[in-house]
Structure 1
């Protein structure tokens, strides 16, 4: 029996599930300072990109580009256009394979430093978080 995918519970306090794409679960990081998605390939037992098959790695790259488009859309919606995308698969805290796609601006308060582990986060608030999640789902419907 093949193990089933389950996102590490460590993702739950800081992000919300928005939708599933062909390979990845898409989560919105609950930090309004940055438009920020987390992509978690929906395969059990993955720790490194090399654990994916060749076709899955290609699909992951396609989904990273797609996430970049969504992050840029979120930045535009917040009237803070993204100037640079940061993409990383760190896994130092949560070993499960996941990728961060973060929109950055030269005036974002942490520029040019990385955002990982730099807080405190600025939670969206329930209504704004749901609005951003809905915006993501609607942008992907067409």
Structure 2
């Protein structure tokens, strides 16, 4: 049975679900920083997913990156799996702008996280509602 890693539960807000992945928002308003987590148990590496899930993860990642680049006027999209702290397979999809607090350095460990207000989260979800229509279920909404 799939269970989301406790560190991701603590650090992120659930936005909703693609067919394969939970979509999380890192609770740090320094950057629009999203995380895709395939709902598969005991998977820590990309190659541990079967071929269909690998294709689906890549589809969801590239769709999300494209949507975020346009929605948040990114100068660069950072997409990565690391897993050095959280071993559960997860894909970071981070909007980077030349004026963000860490540019051009990586976002990890650069500045203390600044939690979102409820109003900020609502604005982000509203923006995503306009563009995430294909096979996406927002958290708290029934299918």
Return the TM-score normalized by structure 2.
0.86
What SS does the aligned partner of 1:100 have?
Answer: strand
CA offset digits 1:73-127 (Å, max 9, x no partner): 441xxxxx20100011010111000010001112212111111222211222112
Q: Where does residue 78 of structure 1 map in the other structure?
A: none
Q: Where does residue 118 of structure 2 map in the other structure?
A: 126
Runs of 4+ more than 3 Å apart? none
Q: Where does residue 87 of structure 1 map in the other structure?
A: 79
What are the ranges of 5 or more consecutive residues in structure 2 without an aligned counterpart?
Answer: 135-143
Q: Where does residue 53 of structure 1 map in the other structure?
A: 50
Q: Is the 8 A contact 1:27 1:37 kept in 2?
A: yes
Q: Is the 8 A contact 2:12 2:24 kept in 1?
A: yes
For 1:105 and 1:48, locate their aligned partners in 2 and report how far apart those are by CA, in whole Å.
29
What are the ranges of 5 or more consecutive residues in structure 1 without an aligned counterpart?
Answer: 76-80
For 1:138 and 1:13, locate their aligned partners in 2 and report how far apart those are by CA, in whole Å.
27
Q: Where does residue 109 of structure 2 map in the other structure?
A: 117
Deviates more, 1:56-65 or 1:126-135: 126-135
Number of residues of Structure 1 aligned to a counterpart in Structure 2: 134
Q: Where does residue 69 of structure 2 map in the other structure?
A: 72
What SS does the aligned partner of 2:14 have?
Answer: strand
Which of 111, 115, 133 is residue 141 of structure 1 equivalent to?
A: 133
Note the aligned Cα RMSD (angstroms): 1.5
